[in-house]
Amino acid sequence: MFCPKCKSEFEEGIQVCPECDVNLVEVLPEEDYLEFVKVFESSDPNLTVIIKSVLDDAGIKYFVPGDNMQSILGAKFAFAFGADIGNAQFLVSKEDEAIALELLKEIEDSELVE
Using CB under 5 A, list all residues that contact Zn ion: 3, 5-6, 17, 19-20
Residue 72: how many other CB atoms lie within 10 Å: 8
Shortest distance (Å) from residue 32 CB to Zn ion: 18
Q: Pick the closer one to Zn ion by CB: 3 or 92.
A: 3
**Which residue intervals of the chain are DSSP H helices?**
45-57, 67-81, 83-86, 97-113
Give the nearest distance from C-beta 15 to Zn ion in angstroms: 12
Angle at CA of residue 19, ends 28 and 30, nearest 5°: 15
The nearer residue to Zn ion, 19 or 41, going by C-beta atoms, is 19
